[in-house]
Structure 1
Amino acid sequence: MAETLTSCPEKALFALFGGTFDPIHYGHLRPVEVLARQVGLDRVTLLPNNVPPHRPQPKANPLQRLKMVELAIAGNPLFSIDNRELKHDSPSYTIETLETLRKEYGAAVPLAFIIGQDSLLTLHKWHRWQDLLGVCHLLVLARPGYSNEMETEELQQWLNNHRVDEPKKLKMQAHGMIYIADTPLSEISATDIRRRLHSGEACDDLLPPAVQRYIHSQGLYRE
């Protein structure tokens, strides 16, 4: 579960990273590790979700995806897991989860949500997207092949109004800023991994070994 306010070091920035993680792979983990060094994150909490609002239902079930996340981050002190969204049978909306976490952390703790550049460009299609910066900061990971400009001038102005270039500013207030990180571009995708596994191709350079062994033991992604 997420850390409580009483266990939060003063002025620490707490970051959350959501996804279906179907399966979790190096394209998730490695850019976040670089981001953590850039921004000065001591902990990133992974939020696997059960019913994503904007994409098909995951192939692996919630328990399998949770187990893969556990295996992927074992021994890495940067990461922890919050499984609250996996317990919901209805769609998990990011803003609602973040509002709950904000109540738990308290109003003054700097809190950030990590998204990919692709998600930033379509953020205006998210449920109550305009409320997000009232709850958290946004940390944006680079994605290959995506534009650096928002869809409309209005959205670009919104981004410009909230964007900061100095990571230390993120720790000076609890929410309201957007930081676009200089993280490595990763071509790895869960869709491609599932295709490879279905075809019997190797994924040694895409997945942590423990995750790959679990996938094989469970017979995942063969159909």
Structure 2
Amino acid sequence: MNKKESNMKKVGLLGGTFDPPHYGHLMIAEEVYQALDLNEVWFIPSYEPPHKEKSTTCAEHRISMIQEAIIDNNHFLLNTIEVERLGKSYTIDTVKKLQESYPDIQFYFIIGADMVEYLSKWFKIDELIKIIQFVGVKRNKYQLDTIYPIIEVEIPGMDVSSTMVRERLREGKTIRYLVPPQVLEKIEEHNLYGSK
């Protein structure tokens, strides 16, 4: 690491639909923040991710839920670059724009173990891997199988996903302790995901 890099601010980027944000997202962000001694972690909600179905919840509600989820953590921030751009969100476009806007920041792109195995299918991955450091989060005893240079960070096992949260709400089950209380309030306030 050269002297310039050692003086740079270190920021983790955690992208996703966050539909809704849950404790798993927050734990991943905190574990990577601690493990890599980052200054901040930025949550970047996508407008329309290229690898998933379009989000069922409008960007405005998802942004509001993220703001509530991270409100009590001063090293978590929201960045709406992908929502403002509209359309499909390709990571390479986001990274290039952020690097252009913040030349004094060294970025780390955080992805889950499921995405690590999918990396070879990412748009312009060979170019992307040269311009940003990927961080793969994994649970204990799981191997991250990839040909790409990634930093591995182990996280405690927490089997929660946005899909599971939405399904539980549709089935009338509780999501208490899966999402922060403020996020649950937003979901109920706007009757999201079939909640009552």
Instruction: Say yes or no: TM over 0.5.
Output: yes
In structure 2, the partner of 1:39 is: 36
In structure 2, the partner of 1:181 is: 153
1:129 aligns with 2:101: no
In structure 2, the partner of 1:64 is: 61
Is the partner of 2:43 in helix, strand or coil? strand
1:140 aligns with 2:132: no
Q: Specify which of 82, 90, 93 is matched with residue 90 of structure 2.
A: 93
1:208 aligns with 2:180: yes
2 CA distance for matches of 1:109 and 1:78? 15
2 CA distance for matches of 1:123 and 1:113? 12
Alpha carbons of structure 1 residues 46 and 215: separation in structure 2 relative to 1, 3 Å: same
1:111 alignment partner AA: F
**Identity percentage over the alignment?**
31
Q: Specify which of 111, 114, 120 is matched with residue 116 of structure 2.
A: 120
Whichever structure has more strand as a proportion of its residues is 2
Shift of 1:196: 0.4
Is the partner of 2:154 in helix, strand or coil? coil
TM-score, scaled relative to structure 1: 0.80
Given that 2:45 and 2:83 are in contact with CA atoms closer than 8 Å, whether structure 1 keeps it comes out as yes
The worse-fitting range, judged by mean Cα deviation, of 20-29 and 36-45 is: 36-45
Across the two proteins, how many residue pairs are aligned to each other?
A: 191
1 CA distance for matches of 2:117 and 2:165? 24
Task: Specify every segment of 5 or more residues in structure 2 that has no aligned partner in the other structure, as ranges.
Answer: 1-5
Following TM superposition, where does structure 1 have runs of at least 4 consecutive aligned residues deviating by more than 6 angstroms? Answer: none
Task: Specify every segment of 5 or more residues in structure 1 that has no aligned partner in the other structure, as ranges.
Answer: 1-8, 151-155, 163-177
Alpha carbons of structure 1 residues 100 and 142: separation in structure 2 relative to 1, 3 Å: same
Shift of 1:143: 5.1
In structure 1, the partner of 2:74 is: 77
The worse-fitting range, judged by mean Cα deviation, of 66-75 and 79-88 is: 79-88
